[in-house]
Amino acid sequence: MTHPLHLASLSLREIRLPLREPFRISSGVTTERRILLLTLTDVDGVSVWSECVAGEWPNYSPETIDTAWFALTQWLAPRLLGREVASAADVRRTLDDNIRGHPMAKAALEMGMWALEATRLGRPLAIHIGGTRTQVEAGISMGIQSSPAVLAEKMLAARDAGYARLKCKIAPGYDVPYVAAVREAVGPDVRMSVDANAAYSLSDHAVFTALDALHLLYIEQPLAQDDLVQHAALQVQCKTALCLDESILDESRAADMHQLGSGRVINIKPGRVGGFAASKAIHDLCMARGTPVWCGGMLESGIGRAYNVALASLPGFTLPGDLSPSARYWVEDIVTPEWTMHPNGLVDVPRTQPGLGVAPRRDRIDALTVRETTVRAG
Ligand code: OSB
Ligand code: MG
């Protein structure tokens, strides 16, 4: 079924892409993305693009674009260049062997190898990784705003645009009145969630009790990024499901979450867990236990989004993902066609052409590039 993959060169480039509006979370604000794009080329000259989702600053996870650049050029690319791997499913093991951490750097390479394999086999990426859906539901993730009224107005517009779920970023001082204003504006039936990005502690009972009254789908990552034990204590107190993002780094953490009762939903970001093999393992484990999962986002360009949409088409992704269309983030994306959302909140999964299903716009990418390097076998 699969054929060996043999990488000949890996190109890295950094592009700068300004966001249409600043994105503020509890731990910092992003106004312009510094995006690391990879081009993987095999010995037959077949070439695919992938994206590393590491941020500009280590405020979500320890990785940044600069640590990923270093890890990829110094440690990870040399693991794959000039040697055959039996299949994309084996890449994870090759990259994890005695190299700890750096999941976003690993994921960019590992997911690129899945796309290379799909392309070589003439298959759409989504189908190649086991996706079954033809469309996926998109939710919006809205940054912290200057007032409850401003947030409510934006979320009303998002509801009217068709988003299947509205997620508000929260932080101490920017929580209950903000989320209550949104609930009031959009009505009782709209699916809503909040994401604290680890900004709270167990002593914040009052906040969680008030959120419990707002009928949220889940509260995402309320407590520390490396915690499972305190989340379990909080889940006992909260009626609302907890959803873990930062705390789930692989399938063993997902199993621990189930064992400890630290949450009832998982946000799978393939970058955070090291790629598609790990994402699929978490997905399979959650499906077996009846735990819903959804695909998170990291303000990706249209290249990274292709990978997220493919992942979200797996059967266990039963909740809307952070899969907003291109125009939510960028004046102009770097792929054609751009990603769009139907008025009912659905995004089409590319299922006809081999590979990603969108074409990177080479001229535009060249014009946005601020640095570039190529690593070759040798
Ligand atoms: O916690 O989900 C998060 C962006 C950067 C860092 C962390 C998060 C996010 C998002 C972005 O919520 C969602 C998107 O890409 O639309
Ligand atoms: Mg999150």
- What does the DSSP assignment read for 100-145? -S-HHHHHHHHHHHHHHHHHHHT-BHHHHTT---SEEEBEEEE---
Ligand 1 contact via 298 beta carbon (within 6 Å):
yes
Quick one: 193 and 303 in the same domain? yes
Rounded distance between C-alpha atoms, residue 141 and residue 85, angstroms: 37
Mean pLDDT, range 171-180, rounded to an integer: 98
Q: Is the CB of 211 under 6 A from ligand 1?
A: no
Per annotation, catalytic residue among 106, 167, 169, 280: 169
Residue 356 lies in a domain: no
Distance 242 CA to ligand 2 centre (A): 12
Q: Strands 5-25 and 369-376: what pairing?
A: antiparallel
User: Does any ligand 1 atom lie closer than 6 A to the CB of residue 322?
Assistant: yes
Which atom of ligand 1 is the closest one to the Cα of 328? 16
CATH code at position 365: 3.30.390.10
Answer yes or no: 169 catalytic: yes
In a domain, 353, yes or no: no
> Within this chain, do residues 283 and 195 fall inside the same structural domain, yes or no?
yes
Which domain does 89 fall in, by range? 5-122+361-376
Q: For the full predicted model, state whether its pTM sits above 0.75.
A: yes
Say yes or no: 117 and 175 in one domain. Answer: no
Residues 98 and 206 grouped into a single domain? no
Cβ of 297 closer than 6 Å to ligand 1, yes or no, is yes
Burial per residue of 306-328, b for 16 or more beta-carbon CB atoms within 10 angstroms, e otherwise: bbbbbbbbbebbebbbbbbbbeb
Kindly state whether residue 267 falls inside one of the protein's structural domains.
Answer: yes
> Does the pLDDT at position 19 exceed 70?
yes
Mutation pick for ligand 1 pocket among 20, 33, 299 (CB with most ligand atoms within 8 Å): 299
pLDDT tens digits for 187-245? 999 999 999 999 999 999 999 999 999 999 999 999 999 999 999 999 999 999 999 99
Whether 299 shows a pLDDT value over 90: the answer reads yes
The answer on 366 and 282 residing in a single domain is no
pLDDT at 30 over 60: yes
pLDDT of residue 249: 98
Does 205 reside within a domain? yes
Same domain membership, residue 372 and residue 288: no
- For the chain, the domain total comes to 2
Mean residue pLDDT of the chain comes to 97
354 domain residue, yes or no = no
Closest C-alpha residue for ligand 1 atom 14: 297
30, 218, 269, 322, best to mutate for ligand 1 pocket (most atoms within 8 Å of CB): 322
Q: What is the pLDDT of residue 2?
A: 57
Any idea which ligand is nearest the CA of 61? 1
Q: What average pLDDT does this structure show over 23-49? A: 97
Tell whether 290 and 141 lie within a shared domain.
Answer: yes
CB within 8 Å of 171: residues ≥ 6 apart: 25, 26, 144, 196, 197, 199
Same domain? For 250 and 111 the reply is: no
Cβ(197) – ligand 1 distance below 6 Å: yes
The verdict on the CB of residue 245 being under 6 Å from ligand 1 is: yes
CA of 222 to the centre of ligand 2 (A): 9
Residue entry with tokens 């996926």:
136
Given a cut of 60, whether residue 1 has pLDDT beyond it is: no
Query: Which residue puts its alpha carbon closest to atom 8 of ligand 1?
Result: 298
Active-site annotation holds for 269:
yes
CA of 334 to the centre of ligand 2 (A): 24
Nearest ligand 1 atom to the CA of 323 is 16
What integer pLDDT is reported at residue 376 of this predicted model?
Answer: 96
Domain assignment of residue 240, yes or no: yes
pLDDT above 60 (res 123) = yes
- Whether residue 141 has its Cβ less than 6 Å from ligand 1: yes
Instruction: Read off the CATH number of the domain in which 171 is found.
Output: 3.20.20.120
Same domain, 66 and 99: yes
Both 341 and 273 in one domain: the answer is yes
Going by C-alpha positions, the residue among 248, 244, 364 that lies closest to residue 302 is: 364
How remote is the CA of residue 85 from the centroid of ligand 1, in Å? 32
Q: Are residues 132 and 36 in the same domain?
A: no
- Catalytic annotation, pick one of 106, 154, 269, 280: 269
What's the count of helices (H) and strands (E) in the chain, helices before strands? Answer: 15, 16
Q: Ligand 1 center to residue 141 CA distance, Å? A: 7
Tokens of 333: 């994306």
**Does any ligand 1 atom lie closer than 6 A to the CB of residue 246?**
no
Q: Are strands 192-195 and 219-220 parallel, antiparallel or unpaired?
A: parallel
Q: Are residues 39 and 62 in the same domain?
A: yes
60 in contact with ligand 1, CB cutoff 6 A: yes
Pocket test for ligand 1, best of 34, 298, 305, 326 (most atoms within 8 A of CB): 298
- pLDDT at residue 82 in the model: 87
Task: With respect to residue 367, please indicate whether it lies within any of the assigned structural domains.
Answer: yes
Two tokens at 68?
């990923």
- Percentage of the chain beyond pLDDT 90 is 98
**What is the position in ligand 1's atom list of the atom closest to the CA of 167?**
12
What value does the mean pLDDT take over residues 265-293?
Answer: 98
Q: Is 366 part of a structural domain of the chain?
A: yes
